[in-house]
Amino acid sequence: MYVAVKGGERAIENAHAWLAEERRGDKDVAELSVAQIREQLSLAVNRVMAEGSLYDPDLAALAIKQSRGDLIEAIFLIRAYRTTLPRFGASKPVETAAMACDRRISATFKDLPGGQILGPTFDYTHRLLDFKLAADGDVPEAPERATEPAEVPHVADFLNQEGLIEEALFDDTEPPDLTREPLEMPAARALRLQALTRSDEGFTLGLAYSTQRGYARNHAFVGELRIGSVPVEMDIPELGFSVEVGEVILTECETVNQFTGSKTEPPQFTRGYGLVFGQTERKAISMALVDRALRWEELGEDNVGAPAQDAEFVLYHADNIQATGFLEHIKLPHYVDFQSELELVRKLRREAGAAAVQEAAE
Amino acid sequence: MKDAVEEQTDRKAWMSLLAKAPEGRISELLDATVSRPKFTWLRPPEIGSTMVRARAGAAGAPFNLGEMTITRCALTLEGGAVGHAYIQGRRKTDAEAAALADALMQTSVAPQLQRDVLTPLSEELRARKSARAAKAAATKVDFFTMVRGDD
């Protein structure tokens, strides 16, 4: 219960002034620009865009600066800003098969058309602190290799040719949108994917890890992981045709899962799908594993009661802005609630005390 | 004479190219070749979003991936040509320049604009793409077998 009280205005103003000063830190140290954050903390920027569900690197960088690097606070700022924007429309589904890949790897096929492209990865680094970065220094140009534009087909398409993998059936149903309609169960896969792509990375990672450890066991291989840019094309109603309005960088992960068959499906490989704004590899892999676990029902698998199989549990707890909003509200004044609890505990103690005295007397 | 389909294809191509130009670049190229004509706003620049969609498993049913910021505007030149812009980001001056270029491409200065604005933008875009592709190609793995265990 909330009761309006007055008297905190000056304290709040002063707290905000101090917050601004602490945000700036030691003034002998140069101030960070938004462009520096955008360029040099780009993976943080990517996470804020993905979970804020708004692709705009400059805004995400600004939010990170304003939030002092608290990424959930930054995501909150982006989500709040997003609600102020008029929606001009929806794009055509992006063509990830035509992605200009910065990175493209497969853990299932060594030699595949288009090749294994490592891209700018932390993999194979030794995870030793690099003290050279603590000093100023020029970075040498990355090597280049002459290349011709080539097709980089999806790995799942090769398995498809043998009929060994479940097909993603083409469909043009207008997808549900959880930013317009409240999330309700049962949730179609399209709705689950929308919720997962903007879900908290840590929560999604934990759930995905739980499936690997045996809760809703579905042994996943990374059939393919690709990162790169795709054009975004949308219909312009006043023109009567569509144009590309820009490009976004996406991370896509398709898992290939062993599947021995069920009451309804033959033995084959099944698929989990992850697609996330930005270079966000851990999140995309996690999303694919959780997507696959949530598909138990349509594939005729048993519900073993694992958390990652429970769509309601997963989807209602995966959004870090909802979670933090409810969690953090308990620090706000609950004086009257607490006063009544206090009265109750005092009363119970009085009664317990009186009972004890009576017992001792008997 | 081009037919309506060809005209539409051409316009779609240049609008798509203008949308991908780096900040400030359209104005630089445009102002270096023509003086800006008078125009009236049909829709002054406004910032909004579009919902980016994708397909489950890259080929299945569509789902909503998340929004991106968009700036759009529409204007009309004194001669009657109407220019539209829909470009990524929050960039009102770029949207204005893109809409002007779109309108001018429908006038007699089109060949000049093609030469001095669209062609350079297209070459710059290709150069950025190929530099990135070349860096990616340098990280392509060349497997070779060291020892094959036959026993």
Tell me the per-residue pLDDT of A192-220, one tens digit each, with 9 for 90 and over: 999 999 999 999 999 999 999 989 877 88
Instruction: Give the β-pairing of A241-259 and A54-55.
Output: unpaired
In terms of pLDDT, which residue wins out, A131 or A177? A177
Task: Read off the tokens for A60.
Answer: 């995400």
Q: Which of A140-144, A175-179, A312-316 has the lowest mean pLDDT?
A: A140-144
Q: Which of the 8 DSSP states describes residue A114? A: T
Give me the mean pLDDT over the B22-41 stretch.
Answer: 95
DSSP string, A264-298: SS-SEEEEEEEEEESS-HHHHHHHHHHHHHHTTTT
Is B128 or A152 the better-scoring residue by pLDDT?
B128
Alpha-carbon span A118 to A225, nearest angstrom: 10
Sign for the pseudo-dihedral over CA of A219, A223, A229, A233: negative
Q: What single-letter amino acid sits at A181?
A: E
Tell me what pLDDT residue B142 has.
81
Q: What is the pLDDT of residue A352?
A: 87
Q: Is the dihedral of CA B59, B64, B66, B69 positive or negative?
A: positive
CA dist., res. A330 & res. A338, Å (int): 11
Helix (H, G, I), strand (E, B) or coil at A174: coil
Complex ipTM: 0.93
pLDDT of residue A156: 82
Rounded CA separation A41/A20 (Å): 21
Buried b (16+ CB within 10 A) or exposed e, B57-85: bbbbbbbbbbbbbbbbbbbebeeebbbbb
Test the A interface: residue of B17, B53, B76, B102 with most A CBs within 10 Å: B53
Check residue A342 and give its pLDDT: 85
Token output for A279 = 């270079």
Rounded distance between C-alpha atoms, residue B145 and residue B38, angstroms: 68
Query: Quick count: other Cβ atoms within 10 Å of Cβ A195?
Result: 21
Distance CA(A115)–CA(A103), nearest Å, equals 10
Note the pLDDT tens digit of each residue in A216-269.
Answer: 877 889 999 999 999 999 999 999 999 999 999 999 999 998 777 777 777 888
Chain centroid to CA A310: 18
Residue B132: pLDDT over 60: yes
pLDDT confidence band for A4 (50 / 70 / 90):
low
Which of B20, B26, B67, B130 is the best mutation test for A, with the most CBs of A within 10 A? B67
> Which residues on A lie below 8 Å from B91 (Cβ)?
none
> How far is residue B101's CA from residue B11's CA, in Å, rounded to a whole number?
11
Residues of B in contact with A53 (CB under 8 A): 66-67
By C-alpha distance, which of B96, B61, B17, B78 is closest to A273? B61
Mean pLDDT along residues A12-19: 94
Peptide bond into A182 cis (omega under 30): no
Q: Contact A245/B86, CB-based, under 8 Å?
A: yes
- Asked if the C-beta of B60 comes within 8 angstroms of chain A's C-beta atoms, the answer is yes
Per-residue pLDDT, A216? 85
Which chain A residue is nearest to residue B55, measuring alpha carbons?
Answer: A93
pLDDT of residue A269: 86
Q: How far apart are CA B64 and CA B68, in angstroms?
A: 11
pLDDT of residue A162 exceeding 80: no
Instruction: Please check the confidence at residue A345 and state whether its pLDDT lies above 70.
Output: yes
Distance in Å, alpha carbon of A251 to nearest chain B alpha carbon: 12
Average of per-residue pLDDT across A100-112:
89
Nearest to B62 among A93, A116, A120 (CB): A93
Residue B127's CB is within 10 A of a number of other CB atoms, namely 10
For residue B80, give Cα distances in angstroms to A283, B45, B75. Answer: 50, 19, 10
Structure tokens, A317? 């707890």
Residues 6+ apart with CB under 8 A from A285: A208, A222, A225, A253, A255, A274
Question: Which chain A residue's Cα is nearest to B95?
Answer: A245
Closest-CA residue in chain A for B12? A243
Q: Find which of B10, B20, B55 to mutate to test the A interface (most A CBs within 10 Å of its CB).
A: B55
**Considering only CB atoms, which chain A residues are within 8 Å of B50?**
87-91, 232, 234, 245
* Residue of higher predicted confidence among A249 and A153: A249
Q: Are A117 and B140 in contact (CB under 8 A)?
A: yes
Give the B window 15-34 contacts with A, CB below 8 Å.
15-16, 19-20
pLDDT confidence of residue B150: 62
A25-71: per-residue pLDDT in tens? 999 999 999 999 999 999 999 999 999 999 999 999 999 999 999 99
**Bridge pairing between strands A100-105 and A87-93:** unpaired
Task: Report the distance separating Cα A97 and Cα A102, nearest Å.
Answer: 13
Interchain proximity B134–A144, CB inside 8 Å: yes
CB-count burial class (<10 Å; 0-12, 13-18, 19+) for A176? middle
Residues of A in contact with B54 (CB under 8 A): 93-94, 96, 250, 275
B24, containing H or E segment: none
Greatest alpha-carbon pair distance for chain A in Å reads 97
CA distance B55 to chain A (A): 6
By three-state DSSP, how is residue B46 classified? strand
Q: Is A232 helix (H, G, I), strand (E, B) or coil?
A: strand
Amino acid letter at A136?
D
Is A171 close to B49, i.e. CB distance below 8 A? no
Question: Collapsing DSSP states into helix, strand and coil, what is residue A68?
Answer: coil
Contact criterion met (CB below 8 Å) for A37 and A60: no
Query: B-chain residues within 8 Å CB-CB of A88?
Result: 48-50, 70, 72, 86
What would the pLDDT profile of A261-293 be if each residue is shown by its tens digit?
Answer: 777 777 888 899 999 999 999 999 999 999 999
Please check whether residue A270 is in contact with residue A166, taking contact to mean a CB–CB distance below 8 angstroms: yes
Report the alpha-carbon distance of residue B15 to residue A105 in Å, rounded. Answer: 33
Predicted pLDDT of residue A3 = 58
Of the candidates B65, B66, B88, the beta carbon closest to that of A246 is on: B88
Residue A103 binned pLDDT confidence (cut-offs 50, 70, 90): very high
Interface contact A177-B143, CB threshold 8 A = no
Please list the residues that pair with A220 across neighbouring strands: A257
> Between chains, do A194 and B64 touch, taking CB under 8 Å as contact?
yes
Q: What pLDDT digit, counting tens, does each position of B78-106 carry?
A: 999 999 999 999 999 999 999 999 999 99
- Three-state DSSP at A75 gives helix
Which residue did the predictor score with more confidence, A73 or A8?
A73
Using a CB-CB cut-off of 8 Å, the residues of chain B touching A254 are 57-58
Is the Cβ–Cβ distance between A281 and A259 less than 8 Å? no
Verify whether the Cβ–Cβ distance A242 to B72 is below 8 Å. Answer: no
Contact call for residues B34 and B109 (beta carbons, < 8 A): yes
Task: Reply yes or no on whether the pLDDT at A136 is more than 70.
Answer: yes
What residues of chain B, 67 to 126, have a C-beta less than 8 Å from chain A?
A: 67-70, 72, 74, 84, 86-90
Residues of B in contact with A168 (CB under 8 A): 55-60
| CA–CA gap between residue B53 and residue B24 (Å, rounded) | 28
pLDDT at residue B145, as a whole number: 65
Q: Which of B62, B86, B136 is facing A117, going by the closest CB pair?
A: B136
Number of residues assigned to chain B: 151
pLDDT score, position B151: 56
CB contact under 8 A, A144 and B131: yes
Kindly state the average pLDDT of the residues A188-193: 95
Task: Look at the alpha carbons of A339, A341, A345, A350 in this order and tell me if their dihedral is positive or negative.
Answer: positive
Tokens of A232: 């975004």
Mean pLDDT, chain B, whole residue set: 93
Q: In this predicted structure, what is the pLDDT of residue B139? A: 93
Pairwise pLDDT comparison (A300 vs B53), residue with the higher score: B53
DSSP structure string for A202-213: HHHHHHHHHHHT
**In this complex, do A96 and B58 lie within 8 Å of one another by their Cβ atoms?**
yes
